[in-house]
């Protein structure tokens, strides 16, 4: 297939590109490097079936020059520090960016897949979160630029499906980690690994009793590939239901790297969700999908990749393609 992927220079975008190329597809990557990295484009520069267009998808999508079969819309900052640093750009890529991507899919008669997020559930009062839960989101808080952009993007995607008949998919991605994350992206996995490798204390925000469930990137990519084959427009959670408190998570990473390191506490950011764990019944039933990589294995691979490149963001993403 000819596949246009927005956000190709990001963490997930780079792993998706790798997998799509390995499956024999042609990939046109689009990115403006707002939170991604040129090194992720450089990984595929020599590949005969990869092409890159530098563009801001909020302003419009360039003519790809070929008939498209699929548009995958992954462009958007995803780390809370990144999206809070760029709140307007985040809203725009969720709103205008999504509309441009949907218009392109419609014009080409192509299928469309939106990368949505567990953040549409906000600070959830239902636990674990099934797709039928509508969420508990502060519409004007610090996270609203991301949460509401994605909620709007889901609404727009469903409207293009219902009104124009576009063949759409929505994946709600829960916390995902792995090699090629930016060491400086401020998310918990990268902060803890980066801190521990540098021999620094691990910074737990609040008392660390808030929970998250961490999915290794190869599991996510496998789920996305499966969803591309199933024409079902309703949202599908992809995440690992293995749930940890952030304090437990800090201890796991510390013990993996250097058990002598201290864990220190910093203020809890506003609106930080208290708990998060996916209900993946729908993904299991619809796609026959479930996560396969344990936290132990996923963290070992991630720490190894950070070690191999010395934790430098640009070098980090140039790390070997690990094939996971």
Residues noted as catalytic: 146
Part in contact with ligand UDP (CB under 6 A); list of ranges 54-62, 129-137, 203-211, 236-244: 203-211
Closer to ligand UDP by CB, 194 or 301: give it. 194
Which member of 137, 173, 224, 246 binds ligand NAD (CB under 6 A)?
173
Q: Torsion over CA of 86, 92, 93 and 95, rounded to 10 degrees?
A: 140
Cα 46 versus chain centre, distance? 25
203 binds, among ligand UDP, ligand NAD, none (CB under 5 to 8 A by kind): ligand UDP
Closest to 103 measured CA to CA, from 137, 57, 43: 57
Task: Determine contact, residues 205/153, Cβ cutoff 8 Å.
Answer: no
Q: How far is the CB of 289 from ligand UDP (least distance, A)?
A: 21
51: phi then psi, degrees, rounded to nearest 5 = -135, 145
- Judged by CB under 6 A, does residue 188 bind ligand UDP? yes
Query: Any idea how long the chain is?
Result: 324
- Judged by CB under 6 A, does residue 222 bind ligand UDP? no
Query: What is d(CA 272, CA 270) in angstroms, rounded to the nearest whole number?
Result: 6
- Judged by CB under 6 A, does residue 133 bind ligand UDP? no
Helices (H), 53-165: 80-85, 87-92, 98-108, 144-164
Part in contact with ligand NAD (CB under 6 A); list of ranges 76-84, 105-113, 129-137, 260-268: 76-84
Which member of 204, 228, 283, 293 binds ligand UDP (CB under 6 A)?
204
Q: Position of tokens 């996560």?
A: 291
- Residues forming contacts to ligand NAD in the complex (CB under 6 A) are 6-7, 9-13, 30-36, 56-58, 74-78, 93, 97, 115, 117, 173, 175-176
């Amino acid at each position: 297939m000819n596949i246009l992927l927005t956000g190709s220079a990001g963490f997930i975008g780079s792993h998706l590109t790798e997998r799509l190329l390995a499956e024999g597809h042609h990939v046109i990557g689009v990115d403006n490097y707002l939170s991604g990295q040129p090194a992720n484009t450089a990984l595929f520069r020599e590949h005969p079936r990869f092409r890159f267009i530098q563009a801001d998808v909020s302003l419009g999508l360039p003519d790809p020059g070929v008939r498209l079969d699929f548009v995958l819309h992954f462009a958007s900052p995803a780390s809370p520090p990144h999206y809070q640093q760029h709140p307007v750009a985040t809203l725009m890529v969720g709103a205008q960016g999504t509309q441009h991507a949907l218009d392109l899919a419609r014009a080409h008669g192509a299928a469309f897949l939106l990368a949505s997020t567990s953040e549409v559930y906000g600070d959830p009062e239902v636990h674990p979160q099934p797709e039928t839960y509508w969420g508990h989101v502060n519409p004007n808080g610090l996270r609203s630029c991301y949460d509401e952009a994605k909620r709007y993007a889901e609404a727009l995607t469903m409207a293009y499906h219902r009104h124009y008949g576009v063949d759409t998919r929505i994946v709600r991605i829960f916390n995902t980690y792995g090699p090629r994350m930016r060491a400086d992206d401020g998310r918990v996995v990268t902060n803890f690994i980066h801190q521990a490798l540098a021999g620094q204390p691990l910074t737990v925000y609040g008392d660390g009793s808030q929970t998250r469930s961490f999915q290794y990137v190869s599991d996510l990519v496998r789920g996305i590939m499966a969803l591309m084959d199933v024409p079902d427009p309703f949202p599908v959670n992809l995440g690992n239901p293995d749930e940890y408190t952030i304090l437990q998570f800090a201890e796991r990473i510390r013990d993996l790297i250097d058990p002598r390191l201290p864990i220190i506490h910093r203020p809890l950011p506003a609106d930080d969700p208290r708990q998060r764990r996916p209900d993946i019944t729908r993904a299991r039933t619809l796609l026959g999908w479930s996560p396969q990589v344990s936290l132990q294995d996923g963290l070992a691979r991630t720490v190894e990749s950070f070690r191999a490149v010395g934790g430098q963001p640009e070098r980090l993403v140039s790390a070997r393609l690990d094939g996971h």
